[in-house]
Amino acid sequence: MQLNLNNKVAVITGGSRGLGLAIAQVYARAGAKVVIASRSRQSVDSALQILAAAGAQATGLACDVADLAQVEALAAHAIDTFGRIDIWVNNAGLSSPYGPTAHIPARTVTSVINTNILGTYNGSMVAMRYFIPQGSGKLINLLGRGDTGSIKYQNAYSSSKVWVRNFTKTLASEYLSSGIEVIGFNPGLVLTDMLSQVHAVAGYEEKVNVVRYVAALWGNEAEVPAQKALWLASSATDGKSGLMTTVLTPGFMLKRLFTTGFKMLLRLPVEMMDLNISSVEPVMALVPVVAEEIIDPRA
């Protein structure tokens, strides 16, 4: 079945690059009018040029999702421009440096909390307060690595996603008969800046190198999860509020293990992403740690 979003208006936070921009492109191709936002006006303008060149009906605003007034202004801009909102994707996200929690500068953790937790809360509240009187709407919150457990050396990020998952499930259960679908979406490993431009506490850089192999095994171009986000925003999920879904299904992972993993085993050429690791000075002297694998994409 061909999915379409004809006459729908979709707001995508963090829509200026990476997965958010891919979602905006896929939604626009499916007939939606799209509204994108991120902190950088320049990067919103570049994304709008890309969208316009592809014939999309798109507008955008500089908006820090951590600031409720800016998120309210984003919703007002969507309504002023396109008359309504049908889909809201809380996609804006930040990762924190890899490393032991007490050694990571507090300001980096605070920005993760402000964007991933407060930003998702702000976006959800603004969307719900518009969707409830309308009696319809799709709210899609981006989950991420560690959303069902605890991840060593990525505590702030993974804990923020645990919060997003729980918050999204609870919100869905409270508004089950409202006509609104509230959905959690883990896009798996996506080949974006978040995966390839990483920060690590000095001394932990080597441990992060494994990300290149994990990304080669299970990573996807952003178009792949964006297509799934189209399915989530479409009428295919009507009545499915509370759905928590991921791209990293056991079937997908096994298939990649047997294809790409097999090539790696035979030392055949496999495409590897470039990984740029910037060092962050620890706030106190490091203590010796047991060397261990830090990446389990399913965790």
Residues forming the active site: 157
Q: Could you say which of 194, 211, 216, 230 contacts ligand NAP (CB under 6 A)? A: 194
Nearer of residues 132 and 253 to ligand NAP, judged by Cβ: 253
Question: At closest approach, how far in Å is the CB of 192 from ligand NAP?
Answer: 3
Asked if 165 interacts with ligand NAP (CB under 6 A), we say no
> Which x/- pattern, by CB under 6 A, does the window 46-85 give for ligand NAP?
-----------------xxxx-------------------
Mapping DSSP onto H, E and C, the string for the chain reads CCCCCCCCEEEEECCCCHHHHHHHHHHHHCCCEEEEEECCHHHHHHHHHHHHHCCCCEEEEECCCCCHHHHHHHHHHHHHHHCCCCEEEECCCCCCCECCHHHCCHHHHHHHHHHHHHHHHHHHHHHHHHHHHHCCEEEEEECCCCCCCCCCCCHHHHHHHHHHHHHHHHHHHHCCCCCEEEEEEECCEECCHHHHEEEEECCCHHHHCHHHHHHHHHEECCHHHHHHHHHHHCHHHCCCCCCEEECCCHHHHHHHHHHHHHHHHCCCCCCCCCCEEEEECCCCCCCCCCCCCCCCCCC
> Which x/- pattern, by CB under 6 A, does the window 3-32 give for ligand NAP?
----------xx-xxxxx------------
Q: Could you say which of 115, 159, 241, 260 contacts ligand NAP (CB under 6 A)? A: 115
The Cβ of residue 41 has, within 10 Å, a number of other Cβ atoms equal to 13
Question: At closest approach, how far in Å is the CB of 177 from ligand NAP?
Answer: 28
Asked if 94 interacts with ligand NAP (CB under 6 A), we say yes
114 burial via Cβ count (<10 Å: 0-12, 13-18, 19+):
middle
Q: Could you say which of 28, 195, 200, 294 contacts ligand NAP (CB under 6 A)? A: 195
> Which x/- pattern, by CB under 6 A, does the window 202-241 give for ligand NAP?
----------------------------------------
Asked if 192 interacts with ligand NAP (CB under 6 A), we say yes
139 burial via Cβ count (<10 Å: 0-12, 13-18, 19+):
buried
Nearer of residues 226 and 282 to ligand NAP, judged by Cβ: 226
Nearer of residues 82 and 157 to ligand NAP, judged by Cβ: 157
Nearer of residues 36 and 282 to ligand NAP, judged by Cβ: 36
Asked if 108 interacts with ligand NAP (CB under 6 A), we say no
Question: At closest approach, how far in Å is the CB of 47 from ligand NAP?
Answer: 8
Asked if 118 interacts with ligand NAP (CB under 6 A), we say no
Q: Which residue has the tokens 């996609």?
A: 91
Chain residues in the site for ligand NAP (CB under 6 A): 13-14, 16-20, 38-40, 43, 63-66, 91-94, 115, 119, 142, 144-145, 186-187, 189-190, 192-195
